[in-house]
Amino acid sequence: MGLDVDLAKLPAGLSKDSEGALVFCQAIIEATKDLAVAYKPNLAFFESLGAEGLGVLEKVRGFIPSETIVVMDAKRGDIGNTSQAYAKAFYQNLNSDSVTLSPYMGKDSIDPFLEYPGTCSFVLCLTSNPSAADFQLQTLQNGQKLYMWVAQTAVNWGRGKKGEVGLVVGATQTQYLHHLRSLAPDTVFLVPGVGTQGGDLQAVLSEGRSQNGYGILVNVSRQVLYASPGPDYAQAARREAQRLVDAMKPYFKKESL
């Protein structure tokens, strides 16, 4: 369940400010907490609230049940003590389970995040946006596409570390998903882009699961968050979340749901 809290899209009756965002997030979490295996706050929307944004984010983190995975969608990626500070912010101060990272600056920008046991750092690999092809689908001298090299390299970064490496793979890229899964058969995939961005849920689940039939975290944001513009927004979000869960059930063992 993605938490992309766009003030302009908040339902009628909520104030278009940090207080409205907080009320909205709490209601959405309360309505879906038994259906969502994870919540993914998008940091940009909280940062856009200004000085109050971090406080809202911390409160939202407190609303999420302790047994539910928290993925901070931050797309950070830097080196040295900057990366160490980012890792501390997300894994220690905000008590997150996962964070999204950019691999552009290489291994030493990811290493500090892998010092936290029980976490999974999701590295951007093959994203769902239209201009992903500008870099990710370019062919290297060795004949591989760049996303293939990122996948294999990032997985190797995680070997023997305290934390785990996962890959961000967009739901609109299902034509590459089968091959990508063959390159990283046991790696957890975070898959955004189902719903409003046009990703095909069935294709994602058919091609993206790991060797043991799991290994995939499908993210849906706007389709659920803004299922209704009216005061019934929480109930509408629950109905849409339930519909998605029901659509996913045939792809997983009964005891896992």
Point out the residues that are catalytic.
75
User: How many C-alpha atoms does 69 have within 13 Å on its Cβ side?
Assistant: 20
Distance CA 128, CA 149 (A): 18
Strand partners, 218: 191
User: How many C-alpha atoms does 51 have within 13 Å on its Cβ side?
Assistant: 0
Rg of the chain's alpha carbons, rounded to an integer?
A: 18
Cβ count near 7 (within 10 Å): 16
Q: Which two tokens stand for residue 2?
A: 């993605």
- What angle, 0 to 180 degrees and rounded to 10, lies between the N-to-C axes of helices 174-183 and 201-208? 20
Distance CA 47, CA 178 (A): 35
- 197 contacts: CB under 8 Å, gap ≥ 6: 128, 170, 171, 172
Q: Which two tokens stand for residue 218?
A: 């499908």
Dihedral through CA 227, CA 230, CA 235, CA 241, nearest 10?
10
Q: Are strands 120-126 and 38-41 parallel, antiparallel or unpaired?
A: unpaired
Cα 105 → chain centroid? 21
